[in-house]
């Protein structure tokens, strides 16, 4: 039998209801008419009342029944469907609309599903077209990113209120020295001292205002020197004011270079020059006057003794000054010659390859490589030059090349100097006589720059070279060199596709209550713990957060650390997050990490799923660190409840699935923080459709849910 239409079914239902009324009222009167007539004749209205009461009761039962049916089949279904519809419309186009509750609503659920499907397809289509259209832009962006990140100079673009809009890898290395982490939307002054920038901005604004920039050789740029906030670094930079088409300033571009060493060397040079000129004036004046007296005036013996002593003392003083100046000059020379840290294997390989190409000599690199400090090109030239001479002179054809840090093995030199690395060229034969080696050093290198000699190379490296016999009776040349710094830490990591610029940074306070939700800066964070009870001593084993600026999750600016909880991690906790005691051994304590995390969350609204739980861990420790996490907090759990109160399941997985957020890396702190961040961004649309547009309103919505939940718990 074909299913009757919704209207027919409802019509029949109400027809039955209508027929039931006379049945309930007239039926009993008909069946009890004799009894009723007798009672009425005897003046007794009791049975009549009983009859009326009974009929009324049955009618009330019918009405309640009808209400229940309508509520469950119509009202609740309509509510669920509209909730689903909203989710599909604003958050997740692929949200599945459950047809079961709507089976009494005729074709409505089917029609809705079809509509949502069509909408999702239309959106995908639009997205595809947009993606195609922006493909070219993406490529340009990727090239720009590669270019910026390979630059040796730091490049930073700032808004007029000195917040970072763009930065590259080199700028990270230059600016990021202390606790604070460089990031989009952060103030430049967290890293660099503000005075030069205020001053520079003022000068450039004035230049622009007066129109002088049109003829100015530097246009709208100027050079500046600034210090990092920790006072350890000096940067030399160029500030370039950027304007829009109407010549209104919109921000500025900074290029930065590390000038710490350069400026220190300049300072040393100035100091030396001052000492070499002005420092000599006083002793020479005294010497000169005393000598004049002795020479021209022939003073009496008493005075003669006195002035002779002055001459002798001042002459000695001058000699000492000359020595000092010579030493300072030597140090300065070394500082001037461009030197770098070199991996000895690369250096010696350069020599080996060169000798092999020539084919006369066979050199082998032995020993463990180490870092040394010098000019790679000159050292290769020098070694090549000397080995060639040894070969010509003694016919030696096999050489061992080795670099070793002194003290690592017994050498003839008793001096073990921790600051030096010694390069050794070893061959079987006699050591080179001193005078011969000296003459080799005096001849210009074959292919060195200019007429540079081996002696010059040694002078630049502030060292010397000699030949001696090794412990096993072979001959060697020994060349000590400054040790290199093993600071070759990997370059500051930027993720594969870093969000390193944002030209649309909103203005105003990034966490003010009446700011639109979209304009705020957030840190979505999560903790993994030893258990569920922070007040009873459970501790954090992992803490992670990721920034959201201007509606984008900046995966490149995340914070993720393992934490030593100071207690064994229970196996049931490890089963959840996979973090073991071994993994946290030697990691910092939470109290050591919190200042860094606090700096990371500065100016941001905190977001977490079930935030009360995670916040508790932070607030329990904040006092010990002298910090206060007084940021506004939004809880995605409470917001989910507020948005979808008909849904019973509000776990992060369920919320993410409902909002169409792909889930990966769950139950790692960073993974959960990322999922929470993505879910929150989808919620913003839904919240706005319900009239919640500002931070205050969102917090109020969450608090409302806290109240509701509290009341529910009471029942």
Stretch touching another protein by CB under 8 A, among 275-283, 346-354, 406-414, 573-581: 275-283
- CB closer to another protein out of 281 and 710: 281
Report whether 518 contacts 549 (CB < 8 A): no
| φ, ψ dihedrals at 522, nearest 5° | -125, 155
Residue 466 parent element (H or E): strand 466-469
Least distance to another protein, CB of residue 334, Å: 29
**Cβ proximity to another protein, 212 vs 306, nearer residue:** 306
Six token digits for residue 542: 């992992």
Binders of another protein in range 605-634 (CB under 8 A): none
Cα distances from 248 to residues 204, 414, 617, in angstroms, run 12, 70, 48
Structure tokens that stand for 597 in this block: 């995390």
Distance CA 610, CA 160 (A): 37
Residue 156, CB-side half-sphere exposure with 13 Å CA sphere: 32
Which of the residues 70 through 99 are near another protein (CB under 8 A)?
Answer: none
CA dist 126 and 176 (Å) reads: 41
Whole-number minimum distance, CB 272 to another protein, in Å?
16
Part of the chain binding another protein (CB under 8 A), chosen from 73-81, 150-158, 258-266, 273-281: 273-281
Using CB under 8 A, which residues numbered 125 to 144 contact another protein? none
- Nearer to another protein among residue 3 and residue 281 (C-beta): 281
We find the least distance from the C-beta atom of residue 348 to another protein, in angstroms, to be 50
The single residue among 246, 278, 435, 711 that binds another protein, judged by CB under 8 A, is 278
Q: What are phi and psi of 248, to 5 degrees?
A: -90, 135
* Maximum Cα interatomic distance, the chain, rounded to a whole number of Å: 170
Residues in the chain: 715
Paired tokens of 626: 């002298």
Using alpha carbons, select from 5, 37, 238, 72 the residue that is nearest to residue 646: 72
Q: Pick between residue 52 and residue 299 the one whose CB is nearest to another protein.
A: 299
Instruction: Say if residues 637 and 650 touch (Cβ distance below 8 Å).
Output: yes
Check: CB of residue 200 under 8 Å from CB of residue 235.
Answer: no
Angle (deg, nearest 10), helices 669-689 and 636-643: 40
DSSP letter assigned to residue 210: H
Among residues 305 and 646, whose Cβ is nearest to another protein?
305
Closest to 641 (Cα-Cα) out of 628, 633, 651, 626? 651
Region from 230-238, 279-287, 374-382, 516-524 binding another protein, contact rule CB under 8 A: 279-287
Beta carbon nearer to another protein, 131 or 285: 285
Using the minimum distance from each CB to another protein, give the nearer residue, 76 or 324. 324
Question: Cβ closer to another protein: 278 or 489?
Answer: 278
What is the full DSSP assignment across 330-346? HHHHHHHS--EEEEHHH
Q: How far apart (Å, rounded) are the C-alpha atoms in residues 639 and 633?
A: 12
**Number of chain residues interacting with another protein (CB under 8 A):** 22
Question: Which whole-number Å values give the CA distances from 507 to 160, 163, 167, 411, 580, in the listed order?
Answer: 10, 10, 19, 66, 44
Tokens 């007429």, residue? 451
Give 593: exposed, middle or buried? Use CB within 10 Å, 0-12, 13-18, 19+. Answer: buried
What CA–CA distance (Å, rounded) separates 65 from 405? Answer: 94
Smaller CB separation from another protein, 290 or 553:
290
Q: Residue 307 CB, nearest distance to another protein (Å)? A: 7
At its nearest, how many Å lie between another protein and the CB of residue 287?
A: 8
- Of the chain, the end-to-end C-alpha distance in Å amounts to 47
> Least distance in Å: CB of 545 to another protein?
57
Q: How far is the CB of 292 from another protein (least distance, A)?
A: 4
Nearest in space to 426 (alpha carbons), one of 382, 381, 366, 376: 366
**What is the pairing mode between strands 154-158 and 249-258?**
antiparallel
Interface with another protein (CB under 8 A), residue from 107, 128, 209, 282 = 282
Specify burial of residue 441 (Cβ count, 10 A radius: 0-12, 13-18, 19+).
buried
Binding mask 663-682 for another protein (x = CB under 8 A): --------------------
Report in angstroms how near the CB of residue 301 gets to another protein at its nearest: 14
Q: How far is the CB of 282 from another protein (least distance, A)?
A: 5
Question: Per-residue x/- mask for another protein, residues 584 to 603, rule CB under 8 A?
Answer: --------------------
Least separation in angstroms between CB 336 and another protein: 25
What gap in Å lies between CA 621 and CA 110, rounded to an integer?
54
**DSSP secondary structure letter of residue 497:** S
Instruction: Output DSSP code: residue 512.
Output: -
CB of 322 to another protein, least distance (A): 16
Q: Pick the closer one to another protein by CB: 78 or 289.
A: 289
Q: Select from 213-221, 274-282, 515-523, 661-669 the region that touches another protein (CB under 8 A).
A: 274-282
The nearest distance, CB 284 to another protein, in angstroms, is 4
Nearer to another protein, 273 or 458 (CB): 273
Here's the x/- map for another protein, 283-322, by CB under 8 A: it reads as -xxxxxxx-xx--xx-x---x--xx--x--xx--------
Nearest residue (CB) to another protein, 317 versus 413: 317
Q: Under the phi-then-psi rule, with left for phi > 0, alpha for psi from -120 to 50, and beta for the rest, what region is 633?
A: beta
> Quick one: which of 3, 7, 100, 281 contacts another protein (CB under 8 A)?
281
- Active site residues per annotation: 667
The yes or no reply on residue 272 touching another protein (CB under 8 A) is no
**Residues near 115 by Cβ (< 8 Å), separated by ≥ 6?**
none
From the list 47-55, 281-289, 340-348, 600-608, the region that binds another protein by CB under 8 A is 281-289
The rounded distance, in Å, linking the Cα atoms of 714 and 498 is: 48
**Residues in contact with another protein, shown as a per-residue x/- string from 197 to 236 under the rule CB under 8 A:** ----------------------------------------
Exposed, middle or buried by CB within 10 Å (0-12, 13-18, 19+), for 193?
middle
Binding residues for another protein (CB under 8 A): 277-278, 281-282, 284-290, 292-293, 296-297, 299, 303, 306-307, 310, 313-314
């Amino acid at each position: 039998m074909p299913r009757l239409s919704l209207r027919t079914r409802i019509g029949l239902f109400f027809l039955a209801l209508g027929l039931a009324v006379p049945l309930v009222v007239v039926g009993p009167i008909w069946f009890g008419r004799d009894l009723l007539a007798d009672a009425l004749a005897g003046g007794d209205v009791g049975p009549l009342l009983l009859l009326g009461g009974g009929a009324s009761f049955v009618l009330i039962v019918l009405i309640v029944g009808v209400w229940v049916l309508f509520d469950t089949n119509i009202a609740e279904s309509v509510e669920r469907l509209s909730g689903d519809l909203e989710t599909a419309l604003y958050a997740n186009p692929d949200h599945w609309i459950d047809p079961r509750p709507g089976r009494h609503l005729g074709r409505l659920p089917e029609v809705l599903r079809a509509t949502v499907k069509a909408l999702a397809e239309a959106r995908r289509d639009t997205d595809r077209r947009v993606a195609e259209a922006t493909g070219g832009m993406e490529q340009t962006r990727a090239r720009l990113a590669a270019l910026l990140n390979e630059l040796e100079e730091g490049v930073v673009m700032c808004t007029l209120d000195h917040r970072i809009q763009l930065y590259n890898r080199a700028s990270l290395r230059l600016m990021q020295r202390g606790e604070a982490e460089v990031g989009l939307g952060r103030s430049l002054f967290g890293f660099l001292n503000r005075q030069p920038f205020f001053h520079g901005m003022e000068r450039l604004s004035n230049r622009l205002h007066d129109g002088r920039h049109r003829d100015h050789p530097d246009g709208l740029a100027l050079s500046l020197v600034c210090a990092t906030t920790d006072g350890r670094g000096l940067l030399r930079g160029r500030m370039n004011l950027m304007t829009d088409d109407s010549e209104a300033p919109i921000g500025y571009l900074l290029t930065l270079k590390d000038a710490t060493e350069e400026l220190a060397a300049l300072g040393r040079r100035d100091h030396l020059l001052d000492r070499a000129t002005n420092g000599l004036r006083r002793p020479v004046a005294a010497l000169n006057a005393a000598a004049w007296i002795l020479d021209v005036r022939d003073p009496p013996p008493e005075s003669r003794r006195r002035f002779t002593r002055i001459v002798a003392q001042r002459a000695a003083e001058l000699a000492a000054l000359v020595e000092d100046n010579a030493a300072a000059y030597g140090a300065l020379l070394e500082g001037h010659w461009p030197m770098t840290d070199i991996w000895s294997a690369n250096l010696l390989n350069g020599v080996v390859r060169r000798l092999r190409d020539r084919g006369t000599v066979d050199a082998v690199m032995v020993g463990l490589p180490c870092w040394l400090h010098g000019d790679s090109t000159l050292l290769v030239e020098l070694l090549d030059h000397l080995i060639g001479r040894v070969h010509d002179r003694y016919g030696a054809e096999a050489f061992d090349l080795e670099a070793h840090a002194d003290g690592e093995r017994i050498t003839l030199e008793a001096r073990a100097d921790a600051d030096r690395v010694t390069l050794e060229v070893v061959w079987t034969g006699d050591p080179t006589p001193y005078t011969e080696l000296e003459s080799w050093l005096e001849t210009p290198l074959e292919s060195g720059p200019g007429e540079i000699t081996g002696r010059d190379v040694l002078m630049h490296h502030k060292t010397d070279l000699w030949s001696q016999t090794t412990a096993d009776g072979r001959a060697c040349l020994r060349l000590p060199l400054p040790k290199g710094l093993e600071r070759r830490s990997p370059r500051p990591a930027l993720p594969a596709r870093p969000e390193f610029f944002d030209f649309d940074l909103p203005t105003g306070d990034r966490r003010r209550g009446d700011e639109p939700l979209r304009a705020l800066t957030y840190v979505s964070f999560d903790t993994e713990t030893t258990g569920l009870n922070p007040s009873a001593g459970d501790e954090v084993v992992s803490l992670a957060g990721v920034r959201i600026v201007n509606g984008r999750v900046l995966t490149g600016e995340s914070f993720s650390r393992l934490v030593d909880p100071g207690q064994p991690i229970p196996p049931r906790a490890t089963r959840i997050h996979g973090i073991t005691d071994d993994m946290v051994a030697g990691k910092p304590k939470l109290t050591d990490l919190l200042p860094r995390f606090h700096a990371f969350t500065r100016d941001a609204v905190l977001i977490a799923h079930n935030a009360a739980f995670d916040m508790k861990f932070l607030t329990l420790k904040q006092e010990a660190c002298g910090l206060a996490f007084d940021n506004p907090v939004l809880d995605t759990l409470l917001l989910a409840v507020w948005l979808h109160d008909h849904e019973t399941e509000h776990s992060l997985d369920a919320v993410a699935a409902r909002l169409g957020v792909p889930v990966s890396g769950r139950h790692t702190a960073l993974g959960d923080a990322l999922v929470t961040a993505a879910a929150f961004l989808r919620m913003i649309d839904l919240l706005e459709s319900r009239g919640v547009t500002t931070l205050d309103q969102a917090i109020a919505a969450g608090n409302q849910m806290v109240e509701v939940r509290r009341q529910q718990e009471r029942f």
